[in-house]
A and B are shown apart, each in its own frame.
Chain A
Amino acid sequence: MKHNLQFDFIADKVKNTLTVRREFLAGRQLVWDCYTQQELLNQWFAPKPFTTKTKSFNFSEGGHWHYAMVEPNGTEYWGWTDYLTIRPIDYYTSLDAFTNEAGDINTDLPRAEWVVTFTDKGENTLVETVVTYKSLSDLETVINMGMEQGMIATLEKLDELLLTIKQ
């Protein structure tokens, strides 16, 4: 299944933002649900080959999501999202953080503000995510951490390719 869906990925090292825009083949309500309901989030949020595990979830202003991204070998990376503003089904803003399983926020690692906006694009939905860090070094810290995940995802693509070739 190969679609020609819009996908913009813009890193601004001056404003310390990362802007990601992606179009989805579904109506706005459904896409909104996938972003804001626990059972649905669990099915897509952690990039392959990670899986998502939710410990507590309350999608409301002042509420939070406490979750882990789990590696195939069982290693867990805990995260926390505070929900700040919610305007269904237009946008929500949140503040992310790294935590442990108990939910203690790791203050050594940067937090970022997320603004996630949902707009109609014909019959499809365009989701824009703007992630803002406090400083350039914060943005770099997180991207350097993402390197490992990126590598894993790449290796998995290779695995899939090898399987296809073998068949």
Chain B
Amino acid sequence: MRRDVFQAIADPTRRAIIALIAVQAMTPNAIAEHFDTTRQAVSKHLRILAECELVKQQPQGREIYYQLELEKMKEVDKWLEQFRQMWESRFAQLDQLLDTIKKKK
């Protein structure tokens, strides 16, 4: 199944997980403690996040730590940037027009 970063952030629990592990890498158990849902539900979200390539698993001894892939998060930013630029350009022109009209009055 094809996954991308937008599927990762489409779910509120996954967004919360992202926010948690952005600060520090955590084990699945430590992550699950922050949520009311079952351990299995959290594991499923972690699996999706891994498939979206947004988290990296790092074994440390017998434990696996989940770490956020910040580079991947930048894709969200890039995607938005295209649309943002279009609006910025449009509004800059409106600024100019408003200025011109005000000066004429």
- Seen from chain A, the residues whose Cβ lies within 8 Å of a Cβ on chain B are 1, 3, 5, 7, 9, 11, 13-14, 18, 20, 22, 24-26, 30-31, 34, 40, 43-48, 143, 146-147, 149-151, 153-154
Q: Count A-B pairs with CB separation below 8 Å.
A: 79
* Interface contacts beyond A7-B88, A7-B91, A47-B90: sample of 4 additional A-B pairs, CB < 8 Å, sorted by A: A22-B87, A22-B91, A24-B94, A146-B86
Please name all residues of chain A whose beta carbon is closer than 8 Å to the beta carbon of B60 when the two chains form the complex: none
0/1 interface trace, chain B 1-33, chain A, CB 8 Å (1 if under): 000001001100000000000000000000000
0/1 interface trace, chain B 63-105, chain A, CB 8 Å (1 if under): 0000000000000000111111111111111111111011000
A47 CB contact (under 8 Å) in B6, B81, B89, B97: B89
The reply to whether A143 and B79 form a contact with Cβ atoms under 8 Å apart is yes
The reply to whether A25 and B82 form a contact with Cβ atoms under 8 Å apart is no
- Seen from chain B, the residues whose Cβ lies within 8 Å of a Cβ on chain A are 6, 9-10, 79-99, 101-102
Please name all residues of chain A whose beta carbon is closer than 8 Å to the beta carbon of B84 when the two chains form the complex: 9
Dominant SS among interface residues on chain B: helix
Please name all residues of chain A whose beta carbon is closer than 8 Å to the beta carbon of B89 when the two chains form the complex: 47-48, 153
The reply to whether B87 and A3 form a contact with Cβ atoms under 8 Å apart is no
In the complex, the chain B residue whose C-beta lies closest to that of A149 is: B86
Expressed in whole angstroms, the Cα–Cα distance for A117 and B54 within the complex equals 37
A14 CB contact (under 8 Å) in B10, B86, B95, B97: B10
**Max chain A Cβ within 10 angstroms of own Cβ: one of B6, B81, B88:** B88
Expressed in whole angstroms, the Cα–Cα distance for A150 and B10 within the complex equals 24
Question: Considering the complex of A and B, which 3 residue pairs feature the smallest CB-CB distances, nearest first?
Answer: A150-B82, A47-B89, A44-B93
The reply to whether B98 and A153 form a contact with Cβ atoms under 8 Å apart is no
Please name all residues of chain B whose beta carbon is closer than 8 Å to the beta carbon of A5 when the two chains form the complex: 95
The reply to whether A45 and B83 form a contact with Cβ atoms under 8 Å apart is no
